[in-house]
Structure 1
Amino acid sequence: MSKSKVDELVNTRSGETKFGEQIMVLPSITNIYDDLKHLDVKYVLIGLPEDVGVFANKGKQGTCKAWDATIKILLNTQNNSLNQGEQLCILGHLDFYEAQKQLSKWDQNNERHLKKARALVSEIDKEVSNLVFNIVKAGKIPIIIGGGHNNAYGNIKGTSLALKNKINVVNFDAHTDFRALEGRHSGNGFSYAFAEGFLNRYFIFGIHENYTSQNILNEALNGENTIKYNTFEAIEVRKEFKFKSEIKKALKYVSKANFGIEIDCDAIANIPSSAQTPSGFSVNQAREFVHSFGSHKLAAYLHICEAAPTKKTEAQVGKLIAYLITDFMRANSN
């Protein structure tokens, strides 16, 4: 993202300093690893404006719009002693224009089109994993915004390759996204990462009992894999477990090694997303979750995905994601 584009989006005001006036941008990108390695920042923000993975999973599109909604709001938050933009470099977003154009010609109910979309997701995987690899190898922490949950695969693979080790992941999600290896889509990023040896320990936080198949319960969640989970109903409906205690349990499980933090907006009540829910965790619980995991020194990346804003809701979605980004940075830098 260019400095001129940032300046265009920032609404300056006398007596105030906005986040966008303090963040770093690269004047030009020649080699991402070399360009970032000596840059005095800790975090690198990237956008993935696509919904190919959601389409390929027969989901509701719109996740391609989350990046634009977020960047406008984030750049205009206040920069102050409690919210500092100096540690963030905004790299910009990957260009998925051609892939998105293909989608407009395809029908989700057509098996041939679905197959093509899944092949396209595999191509997107390569771009995402390569970008994340270079950011992590340069010693920075990627913050990845937008797109479907298919991009978890690229985040995990890129981080794992850069660290030369399997990584762990905690996923704040209504679904396991551990579905069959049937061609890439937004519902099997974790199962592919696990099968290919990039993912080790996986904790799924708050899955919904109404939307987890018996097949998943039998095969993926049977304890033979290094997977643990809790359910939203056990925490919030039946009150069998306390939210804070479950955070501690999940953190203890994943923090044995470097771990990624995945936030699926489907898990938050009434947030426009690819599988919007009227029943879910609150925005404040999502913020607490990000703060708790972000505070740990082994947090390797943050990914916020599946939000699908409309014109009417883009400010609401942008604010939510901007809160989560700044919560993570505050927690992680302390």
Structure 2
Amino acid sequence: MDNLKLFTTSELNSILKKRPKETKLGEHILLLPNFKSIYEQLLKLDVTYVVFGIKEDVGVFSNYGNTGTSNAWDTTIKILLNIQSNGLTHAKKIVILGCLEFPKYQEQLNELDQNKKKDILKARKKVEKIDETVSYLVSQIVSAGKIPIIIGGGHNNAYGTIKGTSLALKKPINTINFDAHHDFRAEEGRHSGNGFSYAYAEGFLKNYFIFGLHENYTSDTIFRTLEKLKTVKYNTFESVMVKREKSFDAEMERALEHISSRHFGLEIDCDAIQDIPSSAMTPSGFSVNKARAFVNHFGKQENVSYLHICEAVPTPETETQVGKLISYLITDFIRAHESI
């Protein structure tokens, strides 16, 4: 794969911060030695989780959002590999694969103007190419019987992840999306706001639950569309956390009932978490601990097929905060799934 940059032993050694009488996660994870048949290599390994990043801002740019999502992978891997390795982190069940990179596309973004429709259309064409790469890699991982854990990039990558999982399983999948936004916008060219609508229209996504929609950022048209679709359900952030009409735990159970009867994907958009640097950062959102409890709850389910954490936009000042958050979510998911 031209766009896949494998994580190497030399990179691992440059990141690891070893301490006497301690072992770090990075000392026990596995790496792949080469690009030759990723599927065949994974098939032979006694691992469950394949962690990789997506370094791109094209999908967010194409949706008129704030770029910087390409930085989440580098930020996360430095923190993740240096957490403690113990009986609760299951390091030997993890492969760190590397990341998908799109340097040419990233460079071309500097020449595009979000205020020009022709430039937005150009960027959306590039998102289609990214989709192909993501769906292929995810399909290889899922076909090998492993669970992808995908970090970084915009929420446009939900489409490739859903498609790749669906193709590997040879049937549509369900998805739960912890998000302030529906990402069910019109099929107007691919971007970070319509990954789920495209996956739904093309038959890769069956049941869809949006957890925590923000009422201020959801149009009447979308609310009417969501109400018409029996296979799509949602709640709003306000109904759960502000008006307290619904309880967080009861809503997780309602969502689970909607999606857990078949293989499903777990989507975590950092836009939903209060004060986390992201492409649409919010002063009012779920706490980090609520997000962690959410990942734990759905990670415990036998049918969960992937974890996708997206839209984080770390800066030099906030990279430790973001890296720790995403590392917590990854390890919460693994701990939960290993407890089944």
The normalised TM-score by structure 2 is 0.97
Residue in structure 1 matching 2:123, options 117, 120, 136:
117
- List aligned pairs for 1:1-334, cutoff 5 A: 1-219=7-225, 221-334=226-339
Report the AA paired with residue 259 of structure 2: V
Q: Does the residue aligned with 2:55 lie in a helix, a strand or coil?
A: coil
> Unpaired segments of 5 or more residues in structure 2?
1-6
CA distance in 1, matches of 2:56, 2:14: 23
Superposed CA deviations along residues 24-45 of structure 1, whole A, max 9, x for unmatched, are 0011121111111111110000
Q: Corresponding residue for 2:3? A: none
* TM-fit CA distance, 1:84: 2.1
| Matched-pair contact (CA < 8 Å) for 1:294–1:331 | yes
What's the secondary structure of 1:108's corresponding residue? coil
* In structure 2, distance between residues paired with 1:32 and 1:259: 23
Gaps of 5+ in 1: none
Distance 2:89 2:41 in 1: 25
1:88-132 deviation line (CA, Å, top 9, x unaligned): 000000121111001011111111110000000000000000000
1:49–1:64: 8 Å Cα contact kept in structure 2? yes
Instruction: Name the CA distance, whole Å, in 1 between partners of 2:88 and 2:205.
Output: 34
Q: Distance in 1 between matches of 2:32 and 2:213?
A: 39
Give the 3-state SS of the residue equivalent to 2:228 in structure 1. Answer: coil
Distance in 2, matches of 1:305 and 1:287, equals 15
How far apart are 1:71 and its partner, in Å? 0.2
Distance 2:143 2:312 in 1: 28
Shift of 1:224: 2.6
Instruction: Give the Cα separation in 2 of the matches to 1:190 and 1:80.
Output: 37
* Preserved CA contact (<8 Å) 1:57 1:187: yes
User: In structure 1, what is the Cα distance between the partners aligned to 2:207 and 2:292?
Assistant: 23
The root-mean-square deviation of aligned C-alpha atoms, in Å, is 0.6
Q: What is the percent sequence identity of the aligned residues?
A: 60
Q: CA deviation at 1:225?
A: 4.4
Q: Which residue type is aligned with residue 208 of structure 2?
A: Y
**Whole-angstrom distance in 2 between the partners of 1:215 and 1:149:** 21
One-letter amino acid of the counterpart of residue 321, structure 2: Q
Number of aligned residue pairs: 333
Report the AA paired with residue 253 of structure 1: H
Are the equivalent residues in 2 in contact too, given 1:29–1:35 (CA < 8 A)?
A: no
Tell me the distance in 2 between the aligned counterparts of 1:115 and 1:26: 37
Give TM-score scaled by structure 1 length.
0.99
Shift of 1:8: 1.1
What is the CA deviation profile of residues 45-76 of structure 1, one whole-angstrom value per residue up to 9, with x for unaligned ones? Answer: 01001110000000001100000000000000
Residue 249 of structure 1, CA deviation: 0.9
Contact in 2 for aligned 1:149/1:264 (Cα 8 Å): yes
CA distance in 1, matches of 2:90, 2:159: 30
User: Contact conserved, 1:273 with 1:307, CA < 8 A, in 2?
Assistant: yes
1:262, CA displacement in angstroms? Answer: 0.2
Structure 1 residues 98 and 250, CA, compared in 2 at 3 Å: closer, same or farther? same
Contact 1:166 1:199 in 2 (8 A): yes
Question: What is the one-letter code of the residue matched to 1:9?
Answer: I
